[in-house]
């Protein structure tokens, strides 16, 4: 998911979408997943020279990514969609009543893991594959990718509110996928989200994605393993709980019972009762297709005076 936080920051994307040819390129990539420039030109019945500026515009906006490969006829540029979802916040949320924290993937405070499972820093695997004991290794705080078949990862979000302030919304943005042996692009998994032990709902990840290298994966990461996930936005506010703007439950911020002295515990899990127990992979800024860790954003308001 590409998240546009306010209208002005989305201008490059809006401009890129203001062309029938560029819309058609996106439609083709949605249908076929990837194309080289010659294939795109053939589908559009245009010359390579005619589509090149359109491809450049889409790449500059972040809507597509381009990788270079060596084919039978020399070096080829392969085009992919960066994501298949676009979320736009019409309101500018850059306000004083908001704070944001970056939570490293390895900074979990509690875990449960069953194989297949493992974790890695940007330099190397920690311990051995499929051995949950290494989730307790002190090096886990440096993890940039963590995966498990069943279990959970729990993180604490700092609470900076003062006594005269109240919670309005909590947002969590992260790159996720399922977990299959090696990888499997069709491997559904119900990934559940919790705040302070209260279930917000779940999202069904369609697969554990591989077959092409994650944009930010380190060079040593094996090509036969999972490569990238999808960027997901989880929100809980006074209207309910949402993922990518779609309501997943009626649990509200009031139901969590937060105040300025509360701990804020966020848990991602594939529990035993999940209908599709296809595992979980969480990607940090040095793995996957998005250069970020878990972003936690807290929106709050001033309490009315008595």
Share of the chain above pLDDT 70, in %: 95
90 within domain boundaries: no
148 within domain boundaries: yes
pLDDT per residue over 22-63, tens digit each?
999 999 998 888 888 889 999 999 999 999 999 999 998 889
Let me know whether 183 and 268 are in one domain. yes
Give pLDDT, residue 3. 73
The mean per-residue pLDDT over the stretch 67-82 comes to: 77
Contact (CB, 8 A) for 152 and 202: no
The mean per-residue pLDDT over the stretch 98-125 comes to: 97
pLDDT per residue over 241-275, tens digit each?
999 989 999 999 999 999 999 999 999 999 999 99
Let me know whether 100 and 71 are in one domain. no
Instruction: Look at residue 228 and tell me whether its pLDDT is greater than 70.
Output: yes
> Which residue, of 24, 56, 84, is where some domain finishes?
84
Give pLDDT, residue 94. 52
* CATH number assigned to the domain comprising residue 61: 1.10.10.10
> Which residue, of 31, 60, 84, is where some domain finishes?
84
> Which residue, of 63, 84, 105, is where some domain finishes?
84
Share of the chain above pLDDT 90, in %: 75
Question: CA 277 to CA 271: how far, in whole Å?
Answer: 8
Q: Which domain holds residue 115?
A: 95-302
pLDDT-derived band at 173, boundaries 50, 70, 90: very high
- Residues 6+ positions from 113 with CB-CB distance below 8 Å: 132, 135, 148, 149, 150, 151
The mean per-residue pLDDT over the stretch 150-159 comes to: 98
* CATH number assigned to the domain comprising residue 271: 2.60.120.260
* Average pLDDT, rounded, for the chain: 92
Let me know whether 135 and 70 are in one domain. no
Q: What's the pTM?
A: 0.77
Helix (H, G, I), strand (E, B) or coil at 85: coil
Instruction: Look at residue 72 and tell me whether its pLDDT is greater than 70.
Output: no
**Which is more confident, 202 or 95?**
202
Let me know whether 34 and 128 are in one domain. no
Let me know whether 39 and 114 are in one domain. no
pLDDT per residue over 76-107, tens digit each?
888 988 877 787 776 555 556 999 999 999 99
Q: With 0-12 CB in 10 A as exposed, 13-18 as middle and 19+ as buried, what is 212?
A: middle
Let me know whether 123 and 259 are in one domain. yes
Q: How many structural domains compose the chain? A: 2
């Amino acid at each position: 998911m590409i998240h546009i936080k306010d209208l002005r920051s989305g201008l490059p994307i809006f401009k890129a979408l203001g062309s029938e040819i560029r819309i058609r390129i996106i439609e083709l990539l949605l249908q076929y997943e990837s194309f080289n420039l010659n294939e795109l030109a053939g589908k559009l019945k245009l010359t390579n020279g005619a589509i090149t500026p359109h491809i450049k515009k889409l790449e500059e906006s972040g809507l597509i990514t381009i990788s270079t490969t060596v084919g039978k006829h020399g070096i080829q540029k392969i085009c992919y969609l960066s994501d298949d979802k676009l979320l736009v916040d019409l309101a500018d949320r850059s306000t004083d009543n908001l704070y944001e924290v970056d939570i490293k993937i390895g900074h979990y405070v509690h875990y449960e893991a069953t194989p297949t499972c493992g974790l890695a820093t940007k330099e190397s695997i920690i311990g051995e594959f499929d051995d949950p004991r290494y989730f307790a290794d002190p090096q886990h705080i440096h993890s940039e990718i963590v995966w498990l078949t069943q279990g959970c990862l729990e993180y604490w979000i700092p609470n900076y509110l003062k006594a005269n302030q109240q919670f309005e919304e909590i947002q969590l943005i992260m790159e996720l996928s399922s977990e299959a042996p090696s990888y499997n692009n069709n491997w559904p998994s119900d990934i559940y989200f919790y705040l302070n032990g209260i279930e917000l709902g779940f999202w069904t990840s369609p697969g554990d994605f591989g077959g092409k290298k994650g944009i930010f994966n380190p060079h040593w990461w094996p090509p036969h393993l999972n490569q990238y996930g999808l960027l997901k936005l989880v929100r809980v506010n006074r209207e309910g709980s949402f993922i990518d703007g779609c309501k997943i439950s009626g649990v509200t911020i009031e139901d969590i019972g937060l105040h300025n002295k509360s701990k804020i515990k966020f848990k991602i899990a594939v529990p035993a009762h999940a209908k599709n127990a296809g595992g979980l992979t969480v990607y940090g800024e040095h793995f996957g297709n998005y250069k970020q860790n878990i972003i936690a954003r807290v929106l709050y308001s001033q309490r009315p005076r008595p």
